[in-house]
């Protein structure tokens, strides 16, 4: 388009930024950002949120948060990217601050995916008890994703008690998922509770829970 001297509109710019986010192409995304300023492309809500999303997905958390502070009105989807980035950067307080601002400042009602991001934010940093308390205070019933986040982090940090609680919830909501049994079994094993680990494996057999075969994929570039 640039070679043909066709000036891109807001939709085109947002689409390219979305592709940069998915590919992790920060250098190209920054070049597009510079192009927006240089050619005065209207930075509407779609473009602004695409920029925030791109910077979050590419790991440039500070650039993304800088844009929010500058007055770019974020959408509900944009906050998922911001919270996700804060979780991976270990910015617990900052992430909680932005979560609170969703409703108080921007008038956006948090959805299940936002609650899941906060649980991930807390548990990834080792605040498992706070994550569990947050789940219990949620105004909506937590889904399997939320409980699985807590279970995975409980395994990572060796918290058997919370791993058991999360597994019991998952077995109520999704009893046929083998991952729920395997994660708790591995948590027991890492804590040298081999009898409990074996019992979980036996429970899988009793309930006829099938573990899907592993698979992998490759991409070939020519």
pLDDT in tens, 101-135: 899 988 999 999 999 999 999 999 999 999 999 99
Considering only residues 70 and 12, tell me which one the structure prediction assigns the higher pLDDT: 12
Tokens of residue 79, six digits:
């906050």
Any idea of the CA torsion for 183, 161, 151, 126, to the nearest 10 degrees? -120
Closest C-alpha to 119, from 90, 150, 94, 144:
150
166 and 154 in contact (C-beta within 8 Å)? Answer: yes
- Dihedral pair phi/psi, residue 114, rounded to 5°: -75, -40
The region of weakest confidence among 1-10, 85-94, 212-221 is 212-221
Q: What is the pTM of this model?
A: 0.70
| Torsional sign, CA 136, 137, 139, 142 | negative
d(CA 222, CA 220): 7
pLDDT band at 72 (very low <50, low <70, confident <90, very high): low
């Amino acid at each position: 388009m640039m070679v043909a001297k066709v000036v891109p509109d807001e939709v085109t710019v947002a689409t390219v930024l979305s592709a940069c986010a998915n590919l992790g192409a920060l250098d190209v995304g920054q070049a597009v950002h510079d192009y927006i300023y240089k050619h005065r492309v209207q930075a509407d809500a779609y473009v602004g949120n695409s920029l925030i999303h791109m910077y979050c997905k590419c790991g440039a958390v500070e650039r993304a948060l800088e844009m929010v502070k500058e007055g770019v009105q974020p959408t509900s989807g944009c906050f998922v990217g911001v919270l996700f980035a804060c979780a991976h950067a270990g910015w617990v307080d900052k992430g909680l601050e932005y979560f609170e601002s969703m409703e108080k400042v921007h008038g956006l009602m948090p959805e299940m995916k936002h609650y899941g991001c906060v649980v991930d934010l807390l548990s990834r940093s080792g605040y498992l008890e706070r994550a569990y308390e947050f789940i219990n205070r949620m105004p909506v019933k937590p889904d399997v994703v939320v409980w699985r986040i807590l279970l995975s982090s409980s395994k990572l940090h060796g918290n058997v008690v919370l791993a058991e609680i999360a597994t019991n919830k998952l077995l109520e909501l999704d009893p046929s998922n083998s991952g729920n049994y395997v994660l708790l079994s591995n948590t027991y094993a890492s804590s040298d509770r081999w009898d409990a680990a074996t019992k979980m494996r036996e429970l899988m057999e009793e309930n006829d829970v099938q573990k899907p075969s592993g698979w992998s994929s490759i991409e070939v570039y020519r």
